[in-house]
Amino acid sequence: MKEAVIVSTARTGMAKSVRGGFNMTHGAVMGGHAIKNAIARAGIDPAEVEDVYMGCAQPEGATGMNVARNAAIWAGCPVTTAGTTINRFCSSGLQAIAMAAQQIMTEQTPVAIGSGVESISLVQMGGMNTKNITEEHLMQVKPALWMSMLETAEVVSERYHVSRDRQDEYALESQRRTAAAQQSQKFKDEIVPLKTKMKKLDKASGQESVVEVMVDHD
């Protein structure tokens, strides 16, 4: 059996939802930009990539239409490169990496990409398709399938006796670690800057404009 190894990585910077730099950026652009730079960093021909696995918790709208395939083409891969979009909610990206590795190990694929993309601005906040979202039988036997993340967190907290104080303590420590990592530029090599356009609201006049920005930070 072949061994699968990670030879390069790349990701976009972070931006606020709705009010941030990616509030107009299509999922294929964000995903494609990361893929393109990961390929360049690996020093390979895009045609060597046989398959792209991309995790996406909300694969519709700007992250729909098999965003994995669209991102691969945007990145410069030829039409011979396949794409598979994976929805496992919070672990979608992790599942994509695992499947890319499995493809190499068991199917003799020379190069595969595991990735993830999400656009809260254009999908979740942009009007998700909730028509017929529930199913009558499942709602009767297992309504928790449609439980929100907030409700899920409350169940986990009660089941495993995780207090609010403990959660706040962990959250604060996480923020401290993040700030320290940012100040020491530990994330710098991961990020590939992306020039894009964003909508900006002038609070004083109430007018909305479109400006060009560079997203290159966490």
Could you give the CA distance from residue 157 to residue 132 in angstroms, rounded to a whole number?
Answer: 30
Residue range 40-81, pLDDT digits in tens? 999 999 999 999 999 999 999 999 999 999 999 999 999 999
| CA nearest to 50, candidates 116, 114, 115, 112 | 112
Domains (range + CATH), the chain: 1-129+188-218 (3.40.47.10)
Per-residue confidence (pLDDT) for residue 202, from 0 to 100: 87
Could you give the CA distance from residue 121 to residue 22 in angstroms, rounded to a whole number?
Answer: 8
Per-residue confidence (pLDDT) for residue 7, from 0 to 100: 97
What does the pLDDT average to over 20-31?
A: 97
First to last CA, the chain: 38
Residue range 138-147, pLDDT digits in tens? 999 999 999 9
Mean pLDDT of the chain: 96
Per-residue confidence (pLDDT) for residue 191, from 0 to 100: 97
What does the pLDDT average to over 122-145?
A: 94
Per-residue confidence (pLDDT) for residue 127, from 0 to 100: 83
Binned at pLDDT 50, 70 and 90, residue 119 comes out as very high
The predicted model scores a pTM of 0.93
